[in-house]
Every structure is written in C-alpha cells, then in structure tokens.
Amino acid sequence: MTELEHPGGPGSIEDRAGHESAAVAPVTQAVDGIVVGGEGAIADTTVAAGLEIQVRSQWSYARTRFLRHRLAMASLIVLVFVFAVGALANLVAPYSYATLDLANILHGPTTQGHHFFGTDEIGRDYFSRVIYGIRTSEEVGVFVAVLSSIIGLVVGAFAGYYGGWIDNILMRVTDLVLVLPALAILLTISALLGSGSQWRVSLILAAFFWTGLARIVRGVFLSLREKEYVEAAKAAGSGDIRIMFRHILPNTLGPIVVNGTLAVATAILTEAALSFLGFGIKPPLPSLGSLVVSGQSNPQQWWLTIFPGLTILVIVLCINFIGDGLRDALDPTQRRIRA
C-alpha cells in the first residue's frame, strides 16, 4: 500500500490518500514508503466487522479506473497502433523516405504502387514519408518526456527535500526558464546551430520542458519530508538519497506519469512547429512538421497538407485523452470507480 498525493496544495488531502479503506474498516495501517508493487501490494481479503472486504492498493484502483475509462482506452489502442507503425517504419513503409520517382510527381492518393497518400513534388511516396515522420515524432516525444521528467524530478526532489539555499537557487533557475519566451529561444538556438538530428532537437526541447514537473515534485517533497515515516527512515539510518528516491518518490509517481504523458504531446507539437519553420530536424529525414511545408508550397495538392497534419492531430489528441484518463485514474481522491 502506498500513499499517492494529488499535486495540488501541500498537505491538502494526504491523510485521506493512504488509507483507502479506512472509512469501511480499520484494515491494515498503511505502511509508508513501501515500493509500489502492482499486484503484490494487493492484500487478500480481510474480515472486518463480519464483512469481506477486498483491500486494494492505490495502483489497482488506478488501473481499474483507467481500464474503465473508455475514451482513454480507445486512445491508447489507437496510439499504440500508430506508434507501432512508426517504430516499425522500416518494415511497414512501402518505400524509403528518400526514394525519388520523378515520373510520378505530385500524384494524388491511389492504391497503385501503394501510394496511399500520393507523392510529393519530387515523387517521393508520401505514405512512407508520413510513416517515417511518425517515427521521428515519437522518438522526439518520448525522449523529451523521459529526459525532462528526469530533470524535473531531480531538481524538484532536491529543492523540496533540502529546502534552504538549495531550494532557493533551484527555484530561481526554474523561474528563469519559465519567463523565457520558449518558442523564440528554441527557434534562435536551432537557427544559430543549424538544423540537426532529432536527438539534438530533443535535447533542446527537454531543456525547456522540465519546469512544470520540478514545481509539482518540489511541492510534494516539501510536504512529505516532515512526515513521520521519513523521520522513521532517518532514525533507521537511511541516507538522504535513499529517503528521497525510495520513500518519497513513489508518492510523486502519479503527477510524473500524467505530466510525462502530456509532455510527449507538447514535444511533438513543438518539434513539428520548429520543423515547419525550417529550424527543426534536418532534411531529408522527414518530420511531420516539415512534411506540412510541402503542403504549403503546393496548396492545390490537398493530400500534402492533410495527411501529416491529421497524423499530428490524431497522435496529440490520443495522448491528451490518455493523459486525462491517467489523471482521473491516479487521483487518489477519487474512490469511485468510473463506469
């Protein structure tokens, strides 16, 4: 069993959070700081006051709530499919993203020769390019989400746990990043360095995306470091790092997961915008954003605009729905399992 905290307001609901069954029966006291253990944490049935009560961990509640969230589940299925197609681009795409076919330029969508999305102005198969574009986008999105989550987590953990001057410095840096005009700075960096690989673009994006999570994690750490179980762990001789990452961290996993999921969407959108403006990923590697540029230069060929843009829209929409589903599922104040 573990405590799971809502990101908002330090100390707001934390007491309700850990003891999910407290209202029904005095079941097992929540043992703080035990690592989140999926199935393992589900206790067997407890007999209390003549009733059989199944004690469920926060995570099994969360999982059930998520699985019953129809929109989120549908989005998850669509997203897994789209991302799988992108990840397996080498196998799925009928052509390479750079194969020219000058005999068939600006050909409309057709099943002939598998040009499902038509061809672009130098005869490259657009279907294949969109698939490779998905691969680029998902690489950028996932990498940015993971990296920025790690940065935000570490910064927030240190700031919240130690407080004092460490907190002061780290939070001032966070404030600084927050007041920078993000897109303009991103454009400037990319323009001055020239367009680059998807990894460099991701690194630059991640440098801007960690601030929100850092603040949330800091808030949780600030309130939890005063808890008795942290004191107990200290008395038992645990070091700071161990307390931070083993005892307090699991309580921030909810916000981290939600934030990370939504960061994938924001990263994909931002990368697409950068690439559209010509300061993103270096051609000929297609990105969904740079593909839309072919649509801009050939406005009469509707497929060049519609397909890459629609792909971005679908991916981002799915991620946002999943993020919402996760937020609902991981919210410990929701005891009700959603129909």
Partner 1 sequence: MLTYITRRVLYSIPVLIISSFLSFTFVSLAGDPLGQLRLQPNLSILTLNNLKQQYHLDASIPAQYWYWVQDVFTHKLGISLVTLQPIWPDITRTLGHTLQIVLTAELLALVLGVVVGIFSAIRQYSFFDYWFTSFSFLGLAMPVFWLALLLQILFVDIYLKWHVRIFYTSGLNSRAGGSAFSLDRLQHIALPVITLMVISFALYSRYMRATMLDVLNSDYVRTARAKGLPEWRVVMGHVFRNALIPITTVSALNIGAVFGGAIITETIFTLDGIGYYFYGRLQALDVYAVMAYLLLTSVMIIVFNLIADILYGFLDPRIRYD
Residue ranges that bind partner 1, judged by CB under 8 A: 172, 175-176, 179-185, 187-189, 191-193, 265, 269, 272-273, 276-279, 289, 292, 295-296, 299, 302, 305, 309, 312-313, 316-317, 320-321
Smallest distance from the beta carbon of 295 to partner 1, in angstroms? 6
Which of the 8 DSSP states describes residue 33?
T
Smallest distance, partner 1 to C-beta of residue 146, A: 21
Q: Which amino acid is at 241?
A: I
Q: Which segments of 125-195 does DSSP mark as H helices, in order?
A: 126-162, 164-179, 182-193
Supply the minimum distance, in Å, between the C-beta of residue 321 and partner 1: 7
What tokens does 10 get? 């330090």
Least distance CB 152 / partner 1 (angstroms): 18
Specify the residue, 22 or 191, whose C-beta has the smaller distance to partner 1.
191
If the CB atoms of residues 104 and 305 are measured against partner 1, the closer one turns out to be 305
CB-based burial, 233-263: b 16+ in 10 Å, e otherwise: beeeebeeeebbeebbbbbbbbbbbbbbbbb
For partner 1, the closer of residues 238 and 305 by Cβ is 305
Shortest distance in whole angstroms from residue 206 CB to partner 1: 17
Distance of CA 118 to the CA centre of its chain: 32
Q: How far is the CB of 85 from partner 1 (least distance, A)?
A: 19
Residue type, 148: S
Q: What is the DSSP letter of 95?
A: S
Q: For partner 1, give the closer residue by CB, 21 or 195.
A: 195
Question: Of the two residues 198 and 275, which places its CB atom closer to partner 1 in the complex?
Answer: 275
State which residue, 17 or 292, has the beta carbon closest to partner 1. Answer: 292
According to DSSP, residue 247 is labeled I
CB closer to partner 1 out of 150 and 317:
317
Closest by alpha carbon to 256, among 231, 204, 205, 221? 221
Q: Quick one: 66 or 276, whose CB is closer to partner 1? A: 276
Conformational region of residue 179, where left means phi above 0, alpha means psi within -120 to 50, and beta covers everything else: alpha
- Least Å from the CB of residue 258 to partner 1: 15
Cis omega (within 30 of 0) on the bond before 7?
Answer: no
DSSP, collapsed to helix, strand or coil, labels residue 136 as helix
Counting Cα atoms < 13 Å in the Cβ hemisphere of 260 gives 18
Q: At closest approach, how far in Å is the CB of 183 from partner 1?
A: 3
Distance CA 231, CA 138 (A): 42
Q: How many residues does the chain have?
A: 339
